[in-house]
Structure 1
Amino acid sequence: MVVWRNVFAVIVAILSFIVGGLLLSEIFLTYWPDFEFNGLSRLILWGVLLLLASVVYNLIK
């Protein structure tokens, strides 16, 4: 039972990572069309998405 809960938590965390990335990129492209994704902004975006996925994983686990 615990194994399936962990598998479910990982799947939901991956989905939240993907959906969060799509939403953040859509927000950036809508409100800042001339925004450039340089190294620092990509690093911050990855950090936010990993934090979101980690929070979702820990809430379900």
Structure 2
Amino acid sequence: MAKIIITLTENASRVGCGCRIEAEDGDSTLLTKIASTVGFGLAGHVSEKVRKAIINRKKEGKNNVH
């Protein structure tokens, strides 16, 4: 059973997103390849969601009411 681990880290002014694949000893190369392909795709989606959340967070409280 391969595991896809997505980590979010926060530094002083940045948020980072990383993806790591952990394959067990009995996993086939096909399963490892599929897990890495899915993991890389998920990391891209998570990065986009994080970016949108940061943009929305910056917009809070800055509504123009003219």
TM (normalized to structure 2)? Answer: 0.46
Q: Which protein has greater RCO, CA pairs closer than 8 Å, 6+ apart? A: 1
The structure with the larger Rg is 2
Compare the two structures and name the one with the higher helix fraction. 1
TM (normalized to structure 1)? Answer: 0.49
Compare the two structures and name the one with the higher strand fraction. 2
